Amino acid sequence: MGPRLVSVSISFGGMLIFAMMLGLVSDAISEKLDSLRKGRSEVVEQNHTLILGWSDKLGSLLNQLVIANESLGGGIVVVMAERDKEEMELDIAKMEFDFRGTSVICRSGSPLILADLKKVSVSKARAIVVLADDGNADQSDARALRTVLSLTGVKEGLRGHIVVELSDLDNEVLVKLVGGELVETVVAHDVIGRLMIQCARQPGLAQIWEDILGFENCEFYIKRWPQLDGMQFEDVLISFPDAIPCGVKVASRGGKIILNPEDSYVLQGGDEVLVIAEDDDTYAPGALPMVWRGSLAGDFIVPKLTEKILLCGWRRDMEDMIMVLDAFLAPGSELWMFNEVVESERERKLIDGGLDLSRLVNITLVHREGNAVIRRHLESLPLESFDSILILADESVEDSAIQADSRSLATLLLIRDIQAKRLPYREAMVTRGQRGSFSRGSWIGEMQQASDRSVIISEILDPRTKNLLSMSKISDYVLSNELVSMALAMVAEDRQINDVLEELFAEEVLP
């Protein structure tokens, strides 16, 4: 009896111990799987692109990085944000674009916590992109500053550079002061404001910017070609059969990039050539071709004509846009400002932003108060007399891309319809009984007729909205979020490109 009791006890004890061990192993496996599912595990990859934060620009940014990595057979992109990992993966899956061999890894965490930064192998990343929040500009930039401070505090050091998206130009100096040589900044709002002004003054320029920025078509490359040393830039221009030289990175001036230098400039040792090409391995200088040199007409100056420009909506950097316009518009030009901000409040905001109204020399401000989506308010404006109209993503709705685009589209359609009905020859055709045959018998046709008389530039935030404008052909557009994403991706891939973009977007190069 005794041996049987001992045997039974040992058997039950063994079963109990086995059950306990099985439970511990099961709990450990479940905890590990939960950790992987929630994004709490450490990233083992290196030489990856790290994106910190989440915003409406993430989809366009990922798409550009995927295209850039395609020639390398793919790459690794790690996204860390204060969101649930499963939600992030689901949102990325909804973007529905081809990843072309690139893997996207999501992790939950805060860029302000060093332990979370270590979790995404921040010290081994080749580039770190800090996205701005979609909320308040000052709060977003303050958070970006704290993120840069956290990144500079990583004990292991950083292998790559930091690309910071800022919302306000005034905060750029402080971020560069904290980050030093590690940081490159892209001031999104300021860039888009300047682009809209350029595109309004030069119709068709919006499409050119969309083609040049990013990696989908041709892009900028900077490379040294020793065989070009001692050659004048006018000869460099015709030395590349598969690329377009457009500038020089001058070694003797600390690596400063000069766009479109003088034809007589001679390349020195260490100088690099900036080109627009399809890819970094698709171009090289060839033998200098024989060119017949004809005679050109002497220099002549085209006199500036006065212009009448309408700004619909209110942006945070309105004072910067006004100063840029005043810098190169002809004396006597008019800038009409139409929005819901009370006139006295407008002046206070402009002065607080650093604009001295008494120092405007070329433009006269004309204030009109009203809602840009209400037809009777728009009808009070002489819409047929403006040389160009800029429809801005209004400050009151800029945190919602869909709402901002809906408002811009409504404003655009109302303005074009009012312009079409005010065309001088339309009145004559209607009186002759030809209403049905006017403008190919469609409302879009009427608006396209109106678009020949004045330029309208709409600021679009959501890439899906551009299809509507592309089909109608009644307006140019500046796809602000996508253009900023393209700029961020280009600077992440090659930080030298930021110098090129700063030169291109500077007010001195505006036509």
- Mean pLDDT over the full length of the chain: 82
Residue 245: both structure tokens together: 């030289």
Q: Is the pLDDT of residue 391 over 50?
A: yes
Q: Is the pLDDT of residue 364 over 90?
A: yes
Taking the C-alpha atoms of residue 241 and residue 285, their distance in angstroms, rounded to an integer, is 7
Q: Which of 304-313, 419-428, 469-478 has the highest mean pLDDT?
A: 304-313
Task: State the number of CA atoms in the 13 A half-sphere of 475 facing the CB.
Answer: 29
Three-state secondary-structure class, residue 101: coil
In this structure, the chain runs to a length of: 511
Which residues are registered as beta bridge partners of 257? 249
Give me 492's structure tokens.
Answer: 């992440």
Residue 438: what pLDDT? 40
In which band, very low, low, confident or very high, does the pLDDT at 436 lie, cut at 50, 70 and 90? very low
Name the pLDDT band for 51 (thresholds 50, 70, 90): very high
Strand partners, 311: 337, 390
pLDDT at 395 over 90: no
More confident of the two residues 369 and 510: 369
DSSP letter at 160? S
Q: What is the crossing angle of helices 497-505 and 480-493, to 10°?
A: 140
Average pLDDT on 392-413 reads 83
> Yes or no: is domain 308-479 CATH 3.30.420.40?
no
Please answer whether residues 456 and 420 qualify as being in contact, where contact means their C-beta atoms are separated by less than 8 angstroms: no
Predicted structure pTM score = 0.79
The tens digit of pLDDT for each residue in 248-276 reads 999 988 888 888 899 899 999 899 999 99
Share of the chain above pLDDT 90, in %: 33
Residue 473's pLDDT band (cuts 50, 70, 90): low
According to the model, what pLDDT value does residue 35 have? 57
26-39 average pLDDT score:
61
The pLDDT confidence band at residue 428, using thresholds 50, 70 and 90, is very low
> For residue 426, what is the enclosing H or E element?
helix 424-431
Q: What is the pLDDT of residue 79?
A: 95
Return the domain boundaries, the chain: 219-277, 308-479
Question: Average pLDDT for residues 210-214, to the nearest whole number?
Answer: 79
Give the ranges where 39-187 is alpha helix by DSSP (H): 58-70, 85-93, 114-119, 137-152, 172-179
Residue 279: predicted pLDDT: 81
Evaluate if residue 441 carries a pLDDT over 60: no
Of 65-79, 162-176, 411-425, which range is least confident? Answer: 411-425
* pLDDT recorded at residue 120: 92
For tokens 């590690």, name the residue. Answer: 182
Query: Residue holding tokens 């650093």?
Result: 354
Cα(221)–Cα(497) distance, integer angstroms = 8
Cβ–Cβ < 8 Å for 108, 35: no
* Same fold across 219-277 and 308-479: no
**232 token code pair:** 């004048």
Q: Please determine, for residue 37, whether its predicted confidence score (pLDDT) is greater than 60.
A: no
Mean pLDDT of 390-409: 83
Q: What is the pLDDT of residue 507?
A: 56
The pLDDT of 415-423, averaged and rounded, is 83
Is pLDDT at 125 greater than 90 in this prediction?
A: yes
User: How many CA atoms does the CB half-sphere of 46 hold within 13 Å?
Assistant: 4
From 481, 474, 471, select the one nearest 402 (Cα to Cα): 481
Please say whether the beta carbons of 158 and 166 come within 8 A: no
Cβ proximity of 80 and 147 under 8 Å: no
Closest residue by Cα to residue 377 from 388, 385, 366, 369: 369
Type of residue numbered 198? Q
Look at residues 268, 273, 280 and name the one whose alpha carbon lies nearest to residue 245.
273
Q: Rounded to an integer, what distance in angstroms lies between the CA atom of residue 387 and that of residue 391?
A: 14
CATH number, domain 219-277: 3.30.70.1450
- pLDDT at 376 (0 to 100): 93
Calpha distance 284→438 (Å, rounded)? 53
Position 365 scores a pLDDT of 93
Element at 310 (helix H, strand E): strand 308-312
What confidence tens digit (pLDDT) does each residue in 134-169 have?
A: 767 788 899 999 999 999 988 888 999 999 999 888
* pLDDT bracket for residue 479 (50, 70, 90): confident
Highest averaged pLDDT of the listed ranges 21-30, 185-194, 292-301, 310-319: 310-319
The 219-223 sheet, strands edge to edge: 219-223, 272-277, 244-250, 256-259
Question: What is the rounded average pLDDT of the residues 77-101?
Answer: 88
Instruction: Tell me what pLDDT residue 17 has.
Output: 79
On the question of pLDDT at 327 being above 90, the answer is no
Report residue 145 as tokens. 């500053």
- With a CB cutoff of 8 Å and minimum separation 6, the contacts of 96 are none
3-state secondary structure of 334: strand
- pLDDT top residue among 294 and 499: 499
Q: Which residue has the tokens 């005010």?
A: 422
